[in-house]
């Protein structure tokens, strides 16, 4: 089984939003520990935990793995395929002076549907690769909601540390 889990709550400025600079807040760290304990009760065996190289993803994976008594596998291919496009979209929004959207997923689907589709295909291909390489293990992938939701077929943003199954 593959579980896609959104990272824990992180803090920073709007300019740090997509970048690798966001770090978990103390609240996020506590939430990740709670989520890890709940996850441990659901698992049938020791999972393999993958994360992108973004700080908030790594920190979440490290806390999850600390509770599960394993080590995360950091895989840069689990990050966005086109981080510059995401940054450019973010900078346009910041420069416009508009309110930050309540739903980043809705905003990106409306303003950059082709980008969302490219990222979905890329992220899904990486998940399939991981699944092929670990076919006999439970898999947890820590990432951002903007990558998870399109792949999981969700039309809403995940809460921090919420997991979704792969469809």
On whether the 2-165 domain is CATH 3.40.50.720, my answer is no
> What is the tens place of the pLDDT at every residue in 42-69?
988 889 999 999 899 999 999 999 999 9
> Which pLDDT belongs to residue 34?
96
> Between β-strands 139-143 and 163-165, what pairing exists: parallel, antiparallel or unpaired?
unpaired
> What is the tens place of the pLDDT at every residue in 68-90?
999 999 998 898 888 888 878 87
Q: Delimit the domains of the chain by residue range.
A: 2-165
Buried b / exposed e across 142-160, counting CB within 10 Å, b at 16+? bbbbbbbbbbbebeebbeb
Three-state DSSP state, 11: strand
> Which pLDDT belongs to residue 14?
55
């Amino acid at each position: 089984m593959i579980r896609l889990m959104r990272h824990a709550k992180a803090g920073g400025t709007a300019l740090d939003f997509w970048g690798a600079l966001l770090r978990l807040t103390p609240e996020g760290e506590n939430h990740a520990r709670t989520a890890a304990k709940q996850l441990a009760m659901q698992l049938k065996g020791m999972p393999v935990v993958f994360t992108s190289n973004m700080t908030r993803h790594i920190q979440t994976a490290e806390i999850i793995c600390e509770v599960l008594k394993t080590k995360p596998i950091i895989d840069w291919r689990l990050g966005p395929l086109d981080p510059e496009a995401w940054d450019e979209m973010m900078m346009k929004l910041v420069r416009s002076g508009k309110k930050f959207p309540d739903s980043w997923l809705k905003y990106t689907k409306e303003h950059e549907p082709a980008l969302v589709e490219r990222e979905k295909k890329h992220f899904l291909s990486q998940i399939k690769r991981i699944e092929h390489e670990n076919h006999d293990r439970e898999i947890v992938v820590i990432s951002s909601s903007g990558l998870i939701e399109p792949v999981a077929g969700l039309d809403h943003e995940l809460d921090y540390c919420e997991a979704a199954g792969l469809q």
